[in-house]
């Protein structure tokens, strides 16, 4: 009898990846260009990374696009970012195909009316049965999401709830919990990102600024994730 070849262990693919896209302005300073150009290149990088995630068959990606704290930035930067959101909404509409869809999650009412309306229309068109999902956390904060969930349940007359009931009251209710959270830019914290959903996420912090993030870095993260043992208290 011929000796059988050892069976190869199947590659572990995360269902959902969260990304804190940090370092846009620092990248711009290093390049000697205006800070707003870093944001523009950051959006270009997002489109690239989404393609890499599709190639790896990652079905859900949630990105931290604009936090509740970001509203305190200088007014000229806020104005630029709002224009970039308008452009992003149009560009992401082009990304919506039979196998891909987009969702916006956060306190969307804080955006200018036209942006809020565009995001809500995108959410209404979102296909639940799409293969690939992009979740854009915009005007989002993990604590704000929890408070909003509590207030929603209180308004429904709830006084005692289960974890599952609470999860269904959140902005991210339809989104899977991230298996991985990646933060670029060198910082080692989550900064109020998916606070409820991140309790069992595997964390990866990379020094590369977001616009310079490379496909090889993503591949290294996916390989490292596959080697981690996720016991979840067991």
CATH number at residue 36: 3.40.1180.10
Q: Is the pLDDT of residue 100 over 60?
A: yes
162 assigned to some structural domain = yes
Q: Output the pLDDT for position 11.
A: 80
Interval 90-107 mean pLDDT: 84
Extract the tokens encoding 117.
Answer: 């309306």
State CA 152 to chain mean position distance. Answer: 23
- The model's confidence at residue 91, banded by pLDDT at 50, 70 and 90, is confident
Interval 82-111 mean pLDDT: 87
Q: In whole angstroms, what is the distance from residue 128 CA to residue 95 CA?
A: 16
9 assigned to some structural domain = no
Q: Output the pLDDT for position 232.
A: 65
Q: In whole angstroms, what is the distance from residue 68 CA to residue 41 CA?
A: 22
Range of the domain at 188: 16-227
2 assigned to some structural domain = no
Q: Output the pLDDT for position 92.
A: 78
Interval 82-87 mean pLDDT: 93
Q: In whole angstroms, what is the distance from residue 161 CA to residue 158 CA?
A: 7
Q: CA dist 188 to 35, 50, 179, 183, 232, Å?
A: 22, 23, 17, 8, 22
- The domain total for the chain is 1
**pTM of the complete model:** 0.92
142 assigned to some structural domain = yes
10 assigned to some structural domain = no
62 assigned to some structural domain = yes
Q: Is the pLDDT of residue 4 over 80?
A: no
Q: Is the pLDDT of residue 1 over 50?
A: no
Pairing of strands 132-140, 60-67: parallel
Interval 83-103 mean pLDDT: 83
Do 99 and 131 meet the contact criterion of CB atoms below 8 Å apart?
A: yes
Hey, which residues are catalytic here? 22, 70
Interval 119-141 mean pLDDT: 95
Q: In whole angstroms, what is the distance from residue 32 CA to residue 19 CA?
A: 25
Q: Which residue, 41, 63, 52, is CA-closest to 221?
A: 52
Interval 93-119 mean pLDDT: 90
Q: Is the pLDDT of residue 7 over 70?
A: no
- The model's confidence at residue 230, banded by pLDDT at 50, 70 and 90, is confident
From 34-38, 106-110, 136-140, the region with the lowest mean pLDDT: 34-38
Do 140 and 68 meet the contact criterion of CB atoms below 8 Å apart?
A: yes
210 assigned to some structural domain = yes
> How many residues appear in the chain?
234
Half-sphere exposure of 73 (CA within 13 A, CB side): 17
- DSSP-assigned states of every residue in 133-194: EEEEEEEE-HHHHHHHHHHHHHHTT-SS--HHHHHHTSTTTTSPPPSEEEE-SS--S-TTSS
* DSSP letter, residue 101: E
Q: In whole angstroms, what is the distance from residue 189 CA to residue 173 CA?
A: 23
Note the pLDDT tens digit of each residue in 183-208.
999 999 999 999 999 999 999 999 99
Extract the tokens encoding 23.
Answer: 């370092």
Q: Output the pLDDT for position 233.
A: 63
Q: Output the pLDDT for position 234.
A: 61
6 assigned to some structural domain = no
């Amino acid at each position: 009898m011929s000796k059988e070849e050892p069976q190869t262990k199947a590659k572990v693919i995360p269902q959902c990846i969260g990304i804190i896209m940090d370092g846009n302005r620092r990248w711009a300073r290093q390049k000697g260009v205006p800070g707003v150009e870093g944001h523009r290149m950051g959006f270009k990088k997002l489109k690239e990374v989404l393609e890499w995630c599709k190639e790896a068959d990652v079905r859900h990606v949630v990105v931290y696009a604009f936090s509740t704290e970001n509203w305190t930035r200088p007014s000229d930067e806020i104005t630029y970012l709002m224009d970039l959101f308008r452009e992003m909404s149009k560009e992401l509409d082009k990304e919506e195909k039979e196998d891909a869809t987009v969702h916006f999650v956060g306190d969307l009412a804080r955006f200018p009316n036209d942006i809020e309306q565009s995001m809500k229309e995108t959410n209404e068109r979102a296909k639940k049965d799409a293969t690939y999902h992009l979740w854009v956390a915009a005007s989002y904060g993990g604590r704000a999401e929890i408070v909003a969930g509590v207030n929603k349940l209180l308004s429904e007359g709830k006084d005692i709830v289960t974890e599952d009931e609470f999860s269904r009251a959140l902005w991210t209710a339809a989104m899977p919990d991230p298996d991985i959270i990646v933060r670029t830019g060198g910082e080692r914290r989550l900064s109020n990102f998916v606070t409820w959903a991140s309790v069992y996420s595997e964390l990866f912090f990379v020094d590369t600024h977001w616009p310079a993030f490379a496909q090889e870095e993503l591949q290294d993260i996916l390989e490292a994730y596959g080697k981690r043992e996720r016991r979840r208290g067991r």
